[in-house]
Amino acid sequence: LPTPRTPQHYSSSSSRAAGMNGNGPSKLVDPLEDPLPGVGTYEDFNTIDWVREKSKDRDRHREITNKSRQSTVALLHSVSDAFSGWLLMLLVGLMSGALAGGIDIAAHWLTDMKGGVCLIGFWFNHEHCCWKSNEATFQDRDRCPQWQSWAELITGTSEGAFAYIVNYLMYIFWALLFSFLAVTLVRAFAPYACGSGIPEIKTILSGFIIRGYLGKWTLIIKTITLVLAVSSGLSLGKEGPLVHVACCCANILCHLFTKYRKNEAKRREVLSAAAAVGVSVAFGAPIGGVLFSLEEVSYYFPLKTLWRSFFAALVAAFTLRSINPFGNSRLVLFYVEFHAPWHLVELAPFVLLGIFGGLWGALFIRANIAWCRRRKTTRLGHYPVIEVLVVAALTALLAYPNSYTRMSGAELISELFNDCSLLDSSQLCGYKQVSANTSETGVGNSLADRPAGAGLYTALWQLALALVFKMMITVITFGMKVPSGLFIPSMAVGAIAGRLLGVGMEQLAYYNHDSFIFKGWCSPGADCITPGLYAMVGAAACLGGVTRMTVSLVVIMFELTGGLEYIVPLMAATMTSKWVADAFGREGIYEAHIRLNGYPFLEPKEEFEHSSLTVDVMRPKRSDPALAVLTQEGMTVGQVEALVESTHYSGFPVVVSQESQRLVGFVLRRDLLISIDNARKRQEGVVSASQVVFTEHAPSVAADAPPPLRLRGIMDLSPFTVTDHTPMDITVDIFRKLGLRQCLVTHNGRLLGIITKKDILKHMAQIANRDPDSILFN
């Protein structure tokens, strides 16, 4: 069996470094013994090679481990290297928690400023102002002389139509001011600070490079403008942007540690953890945050990252709690405590809410994407400031008259989730007081089982209007050039719908205690239906419909209530919502935005269903010119340069000879250019006529010929290959699991073509009858 088994095939392991991008010592006498700056790095808007990056990190780690046996200093270095990951996580948690606390406090203050000002110090928010004044009783916390509405301050009275108009105008003024500041700051200093950031972070985590997206300017501007955008009353939340903020923190802190600064794959592990931190501080749900990162955002999520994310998420949650921005010592944003259990019959309305959530999710995604596409393609996109101002004005104008839209999204959700207690003065609890001595309510407490009163009917009308308003305005708000999260608006829509249905069920039960539906579990006087729970289930359903989250959503909601009891309704609604929404299109809002922006993102969740073969997808296509290849010897520097310049490919396969087409390795364009450039400058005798050699041993050249340029050091000796007959589903699987950016295609041992991530994405777009040129980047 004449296998070409020359000695170097059995060369000792230490020579392997020659195959890597210049890491470690090489046994070959090679001009590239020390890696050139730039070799092995990536350009902007390019995809990283996960396998190489991780291999590079293992090399680095191996080196440190080997050295650590030699001296104490090296040992300490090795230990500090091992713990640097944990230290980094601690710092990310602390910084993100602190920032989130700051954002909460500032947003609360500015939101209150739209309504009035504190006389004892304008830097106090409403609640804080009344605490300071020491006069407010517990029930009347929000009324104190020190806090004056704008009408009071300007006209001296808070009564009457004139005062109302003054307040209304001031409300609109502040909304316009805040939104103007937000959009101007974003445009002037950090265009990447707009939007929720989650689609881009998903793309970055999958291995794409967008320089500056997680930089310090983005962090600073996003933090400030997020506060402004939330305070302006626009229909947006701060949860998505908080994920972006946490990722910025992580990215910046990565620069403190060589291990993470220099390795794109390792840095992405930290970013995955940061995504968990973002959700953890947004909702006070560390476990939910970790699962969110795992389920929704991350691409490569090793178990080590799971544990570290959990640690960082906890640190952040406790940092936030020690800042205590909500003033209630609670970890969670919406603290809910339900007492009544739910009954199996109630699963029907819960599933109904799931269907509503799914329908709304699908509708919202379509409408929002259509609107965003219009923004991208028409003149609308040229006036982002005007767009934001118009939407802010419209929002403020329509929102102010209705108390449920005037309050912030988080407050609204909080109120809708709440159960009515006996002393609750909220309109939502405007039940008729049934006296305890009537026969009907002789048993049971007076809290439960009451007919709706006038207050509640008003509230229901207002809620219905708020629902329509929120559904409309969110579609045009999400995607504007301000930081905007989608969690709170989606949850608000669902919570309103849920509360409406819940109150409906409650009244139905009140008037039909004896019907077969309610008999047996909802007797008169029993506290059987909790409208707050319906609101919660509705919120989960709508959020699920929009984002297609499942486990993480249920766990986040579970962390809010803290009782396993209510997981089943949440699960039923989330599951229904996902199924209904998936029937209209499998993409969640984030994937839809990724596609809209043409990022090269290979969805890890979706299966490749088509039965193509790799040969159908690879390049060159049948009609194309042949694949551009380099030969391992025999080409001159001039020929190589000509080949590189005549094409735009980012890499070239190296073959034994043009005739045999047997594959030797793969060279990246960038590395090739840098190396030749460097050799021409530094190395003597390298001219255009010099031979370029990729073999292990230099060929013998004529005495008068210029010395050859040896480039084996920059060649990847282990390029990935698949055969032309490999089904595309397997090839896609390989790309996803290994995080490749290209793969060579062979037929019977001969090089036939190349397939890249972009080719796959284009092919998938083609199958789905979309424009393959919508995939923009490499």
Identify the residue among 303, 344, 423, 703 touching a copy of itself (CB under 8 A). Answer: 303
Taking residues 13 to 52 in sequence order and writing x for each that binds a copy of itself by CB under 8 A, - otherwise, the string is: xx-xx-xx------------------------------x-
For residue 675, how far is the Cα from the chain centroid?
37
Q: Is 615 one of the binding residues for a copy of itself (CB under 8 A)?
A: yes
CA distance linking residue 707 with residue 711, whole number of Å: 13
Q: Which residue's CB is nearer to a copy of itself, number 411 or number 733? A: 733
Q: Which residue's CB is nearer to a copy of itself, number 119 or number 613? A: 613
Pick the piece of the chain touching a copy of itself (CB under 8 A) from 89-97, 137-145, 309-317, 400-408. Answer: 309-317
CA distance linking residue 415 with residue 531, whole number of Å: 11
CA distance linking residue 267 with residue 106, whole number of Å: 30
Q: Which residue's CB is nearer to a copy of itself, number 49 or number 419? A: 49
Q: Which residue's CB is nearer to a copy of itself, number 615 or number 635? A: 615
Identify the residue among 374, 750, 774, 776 touching a copy of itself (CB under 8 A). Answer: 750
CB atoms < 10 A from the CB of 399, how many?
A: 23
If 0-12 CB within 10 Å is exposed, 13-18 middle and 19+ buried, where does residue 413 land? buried
Pick the piece of the chain touching a copy of itself (CB under 8 A) from 88-96, 146-154, 500-508, 742-750. Answer: 742-750
Q: Which residue's CB is nearer to a copy of itself, number 17 or number 362? A: 17
Angle (CA) 675-680-686 rounded to 5° is 110
Q: Is 2 one of the binding residues for a copy of itself (CB under 8 A)?
A: yes
Q: Which residue's CB is nearer to a copy of itself, number 57 or number 200? A: 57
**Total residues in contact with a copy of itself, by rule CB under 8 A:** 102
Identify the residue among 318, 521, 584, 649 touching a copy of itself (CB under 8 A). Answer: 318
* Least distance CB 336 / a copy of itself (angstroms): 14
CA distance linking residue 336 with residue 417, whole number of Å: 7
Q: Which residue's CB is nearer to a copy of itself, number 250 or number 317? A: 317
Site for a copy of itself in 64-103 (CB under 8 A): 65
Taking residues 530 to 569 in sequence order and writing x for each that binds a copy of itself by CB under 8 A, - otherwise, the string is: --------------------xx--xx--xx--xxx--xx-
Identify the residue among 178, 299, 310, 404 touching a copy of itself (CB under 8 A). Answer: 310
Question: And the tokens for 347?
Answer: 């699963």
Site for a copy of itself in 499-518 (CB under 8 A): none
Strand partners, 195: 483
> Which secondary-structure segment (H or E) carries 574?
helix 567-583
Q: Which residue's CB is nearer to a copy of itself, number 186 or number 336? A: 336
Site for a copy of itself in 705-734 (CB under 8 A): 717-727, 729-730, 733-734
Q: Are 348 and 147 in contact (CB under 8 A)?
A: no
Q: Which residue's CB is nearer to a copy of itself, number 164 or number 307? A: 307
In sequence order, the 6+-apart residues with CB closer than 8 A to the CB of 276 are 286, 289, 290, 292, 293, 294, 309, 310, 312, 313
Q: Which residue's CB is nearer to a copy of itself, number 54 or number 470? A: 54
CA distance linking residue 487 with residue 702, whole number of Å: 71
* Least distance CB 605 / a copy of itself (angstroms): 6
Among 308, 321, 270, CA closest to 100: 321
Q: Is 699 one of the binding residues for a copy of itself (CB under 8 A)?
A: no
CA distance linking residue 644 with residue 79, whole number of Å: 44
Q: Which residue's CB is nearer to a copy of itself, number 33 or number 733? A: 733
Taking residues 397 to 416 in sequence order and writing x for each that binds a copy of itself by CB under 8 A, - otherwise, the string is: --------------------
What is the phi/psi pair of residue 745, to 5°?
-115, 130
Identify the residue among 378, 423, 439, 609 touching a copy of itself (CB under 8 A). Answer: 609
Q: Is 697 one of the binding residues for a copy of itself (CB under 8 A)?
A: no
Give the sheet arrangement for strand 651-655, strand by strand: 630-631, 651-655, 663-668
* Least distance CB 719 / a copy of itself (angstroms): 7
In sequence order, the 6+-apart residues with CB closer than 8 A to the CB of 759 are 617, 618, 619
* Least distance CB 27 / a copy of itself (angstroms): 13
Identify the residue among 34, 43, 44, 58 touching a copy of itself (CB under 8 A). Answer: 58
CB hemisphere CA count around 91 (13 angstroms): 19
* Least distance CB 643 / a copy of itself (angstroms): 12
Residues found in the chain: 778
Identify the residue among 142, 737, 770, 776 touching a copy of itself (CB under 8 A). Answer: 737
Q: Which residue's CB is nearer to a copy of itself, number 211 or number 662? A: 662
Q: Which residue's CB is nearer to a copy of itself, number 56 or number 499? A: 56
Site for a copy of itself in 620-679 (CB under 8 A): 622, 626-627, 629, 655-656, 658-665
Among 466, 460, 575, CA closest to 506: 460
* Least distance CB 286 / a copy of itself (angstroms): 7
Q: Which residue's CB is nearer to a copy of itself, number 82 or number 464? A: 82
Torsion of CA 555, 558, 560, 566, to 10 degrees: 150
Identify the residue among 62, 374, 432, 682 touching a copy of itself (CB under 8 A). Answer: 62
Site for a copy of itself in 219-238 (CB under 8 A): none
Share of the chain residues as helix, strand and coil, in percent rounded to the nearest 5? 60, 5, 35
CA distance linking residue 520 with residue 345, whole number of Å: 11
Q: Is 343 one of the binding residues for a copy of itself (CB under 8 A)?
A: no
Q: Which residue's CB is nearer to a copy of itself, number 147 or number 735? A: 735
Collapsing DSSP states into helix, strand and coil, what is residue 664?
strand
* Least distance CB 302 / a copy of itself (angstroms): 8
**CA separation (Å) from 571 to 564, 582, 601, 746?**
11, 16, 29, 47
* Least distance CB 223 / a copy of itself (angstroms): 26
Identify the residue among 604, 634, 638, 699 touching a copy of itself (CB under 8 A). Answer: 604
- The beta-carbon contacts of 36-41 under 8 Å, at least 24 apart in sequence, are 36/674, 36/675, 36/678, 38/670, 38/674, 39/670, 39/671, 39/674, 39/675, 39/714, 40/671, 41/670
CB hemisphere CA count around 588 (13 angstroms): 25
Identify the residue among 169, 738, 765, 766 touching a copy of itself (CB under 8 A). Answer: 738
For residue 403, how far is the Cα from the chain centroid?
32
Site for a copy of itself in 349-378 (CB under 8 A): none
**CA separation (Å) from 527 to 6, 232, 340, 497, 531?**
84, 39, 6, 21, 11
CB atoms < 10 A from the CB of 280, how many?
A: 37
**CA separation (Å) from 360 to 366, 468, 484, 592, 597?**
10, 12, 19, 15, 23
